């Protein structure tokens, strides 16, 4: 099964639990901001923690807030928050509001860019909610009944681009996530558990690609299947793949365990790395000629 870093679990569990307790005279920040490099398992581990704790997440991504047909971002955030509060009431279970990639929707693009009207609205709304978590109204409605407090977890890359008053300690607790060597080994062991990769092979694999983020190893495993998928296509016939799969939705591919060896994995990894370099070079060339 999948690995959760003990540090990660502790941070989330304490934040969420604290928000459901009435600690006398203690001001508990509503938002936990988990930030760090992309692809290091922030969202993934959030989901693992929710499952472990029996928490129902209401999810939104900052991308949704930016979308031109999302309409009013203020309304959207408040609606989702109220939805989570209502779920706590009717289901009698803990809920959280999970906002993925907050800085993508609410941060500046770079130092030279002004905050857009949208990002200002998103920042302002979250600040409002953090300050009055039991009084979150939809625009134009005035209800007097307080709603349940809902802890918010926001993930992101670079929170230094967010509006500073939102990131203030009273409103947001910050957690910088960078997996340790043990964490990386734990996660990769979890990813390859179905393939029964030995502990030493896991370590060797992690040490061969020290600069890669954790999603690289997920991508690597998915590549493993390519050969098997190719064999399947050849067996069924290219023209028959469509009808075959759609009409037998439950069908699982028989996966040959013997084909998973460290050397093969490293080969695939090196190939993936070459693809990354290629992409990087194309991008650099593009910037150079722009
Ligand atoms: P982030 O939110 O930090 O950008 P993600 O949570 O989206 O990163 O993780 C990227 C990918 O890495 C996941 O889709 C998954 O394939 C892999 N991954 C991350 N953490 C784990 C884990 N604990 N166990 C298994 N796979 C993981």
Asked if residue 228 is part of any domain, the answer here is yes
Rounded to a whole number of angstroms, the CA Rg of the chain reads: 23
Instruction: Tell me what pLDDT residue 47 has.
Output: 97
Q: For residue 143, how far is its CA from the centre of ligand 1 (angstroms)?
A: 40
- Shortest-distance Cα residue to atom 12 of ligand 1: 215
Residue range 17-21: average pLDDT? Answer: 96
Confidence (pLDDT) at 284:
77
Instruction: HSE, CB side, 13 Å, CA atoms: give it for residue 37.
Output: 10
Instruction: Residue 276: give its domain's CATH number.
Output: 1.10.8.1070
* Domain harbouring 69, CATH code: 3.40.50.300
**What's residue 226's pLDDT?**
85
Max CA pair span of the chain = 69
pLDDT at site 40: 96
Quick check: 89 and 95 in contact, CB under 8 A?
A: no
**Does residue 158 register a pLDDT over 70?**
yes
Spacing, Cα 99 to ligand 1 middle (Å): 16
DSSP-assigned letters across all residues of the chain? -----HHHHHHHHHHHHHHTS--TT----SEEEEE-STTSSHHHHHHHHHHHHTPEEEEEEHHHHHSGGG--HHHHHHHHHHHHHHHHHHH-S-EEEEEETHHHHHS-SSTTSPPPHHHHHHHHHHHHHHH-TT--PPTT----S------EEEEES-GGGS-HHHHSTTTEEEEE----HHHHHHHHHHHTGGGT--HHHHHHHHHHSTT--HHHHHHHHHHHHHHHHHHHHHHH-GGGHHHHHHH-TT--PPP-GGG--HHHHHHHHHHHHHHHHHHHHHHHHHHHH-
- Residues 223 and 108 reside in one and the same domain: no
Q: How far apart are CA 287 and CA 290, in angstroms?
A: 5
Looking at the fold, whether 75 and 98 belong to one and the same domain comes out as yes
Q: Which atom of ligand 1 is nearest to the CA of 219?
A: 16
> Are 82 and 142 members of one domain?
yes
Q: Which of 121, 142, 176 is the last residue of a domain?
A: 176
Stretch 227-249: mean pLDDT: 87
Identify whether residues 135 and 274 lie together within a single domain. Answer: no
Ligand 1 pocket, Cβ-based, cut-off 6 angstroms: 2-3, 38-45, 155, 187, 190-191, 214-215, 218
Q: What percent of the chain has pLDDT over 70?
A: 89
167 lies in the same domain as 185: no
Same domain, 103 and 163: yes
CA–centroid distance, 43 to ligand 1, in Å, is 7
Same domain, 29 and 151: yes
Query: Which residue range forms the structural domain that includes residue 242?
Result: 181-289
- Asked whether residue 136 falls in the same domain as residue 206, the answer is no
92 in any annotated domain: yes
Q: State whether 223 and 92 are in the same domain.
A: no
Domain presence at residue 1: no
- Is the same domain home to 260 and 149? no
13 and 86 both lie in a single domain: yes
Is residue 247 assigned to a domain? yes
Closest residue to atom 27 of ligand 1, CA basis: 41
pLDDT tens digits, residue range 31-88?
A: 999 999 999 999 999 999 999 999 999 999 877 877 666 567 888 899 999 999 999 9
Ligand 1: nearest atom to the Cα of 38: 4
Q: Tell me the average pLDDT of the chain.
A: 89
Q: Could you report the per-residue pLDDT of 179-204, keeping only the tens digit for each?
A: 999 999 999 999 999 888 999 999 99
Domain annotation covers residue 262: yes
Q: Say how many Å lie between the CA of residue 114 and the centre of ligand 1.
A: 32
Q: What is the pLDDT of residue 53?
A: 97
**C-alpha of residue 215 to centroid of ligand 1, in Å:** 5
How confident is the model at residue 74, as a pLDDT? 85
Q: Does a structural domain hold residue 208?
A: yes
The ipTM is 0.98
Residue 246 lies in a domain: yes
pLDDT, residue 198, reads: 93
Confidence band, pLDDT 50/70/90 cuts, at residue 259: low
Q: Is it the case that residue 131 has pLDDT exceeding 60?
A: yes
Last residue of a domain, one of 176, 211, 229: 176
Write down the pLDDT at residue 122: 85
Instruction: Give the confidence band of 140 by pLDDT, cuts at 50, 70, 90.
Output: confident
- Asked whether residue 213 is assigned to any structural domain, the reply reads yes
The closest residue, in CA terms, to atom 19 on ligand 1 is: 41
Mean pLDDT over 214-229 rounds to 90
Cβ 65 vs Cβ 77: under 8 Å? yes
Q: Is it the case that residue 224 has pLDDT exceeding 70? A: yes
Query: At 282, is the pLDDT very low, low, confident or very high (cuts 50, 70, 90)?
Result: confident
Are 139 and 202 part of one and the same domain? Answer: no
Number of domains in the chain: 2
Rounded average pLDDT over 123-145: 91
Last residue of one domain, picked from the residues 124, 141, 176:
176
pLDDT at position 108, please? 63
């Amino acid at each position: 099964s999948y690995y959760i870093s003990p540090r990660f679990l502790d941070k989330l569990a304490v934040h969420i639990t604290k928000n459901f307790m009435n600690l006398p005279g203690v001001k508990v920040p509503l938002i936990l901001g988990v930030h760090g490099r992309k692809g290091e398992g922030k969202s993934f581990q959030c989901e693992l923690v929710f499952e472990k704790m029996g928490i129902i997440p209401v999810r939104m991504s900052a991308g949704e807030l930016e979308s031109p047909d999302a309409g009013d971002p203020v309304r959207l955030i408040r609606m989702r928050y109220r939805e989570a509060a209502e779920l706590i009431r009717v289901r009698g279970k803990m809920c959280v509001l999970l906002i993925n990639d907050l800085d993508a929707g609410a941060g500046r693009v770079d130092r030279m860019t002004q905050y857009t009207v949208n990002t200002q609205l998103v920042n302002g709304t979250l600040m409002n909610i953090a300050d009055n978590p039991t009084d979150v109204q939809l625009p134009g409605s005035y209800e007097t009944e307080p709603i349940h407090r809902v802890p918010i977890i926001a993930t992101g890359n670079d929170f230094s681009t967010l509006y500073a008053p939102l990131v203030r300690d009273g409103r947001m607790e910050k957690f910088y996530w960078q997996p340790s060597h043990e964490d990386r080994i734990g996660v990769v062991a979890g990813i390859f558990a179905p393939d029964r990769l030995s502990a030493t092979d896991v370590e060797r694999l992690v040490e061969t690609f020290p600069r890669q983020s954790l999603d690289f190893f997920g991508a690597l495993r998915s590549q493993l299947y390519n050969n098997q998928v190719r064999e399947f296509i050849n067996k069924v016939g290219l023209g028959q793949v469509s009808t075959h799969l759609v009409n037998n939705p439950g069908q699982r591919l028989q996966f040959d365990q013997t084909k998973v060896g460290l050397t093969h994995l490293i080969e695939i990894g090196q190939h993936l790395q070459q693809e990354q370099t290629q992409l990087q070079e194309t991008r650099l060339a593009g910037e150079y000629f722009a």
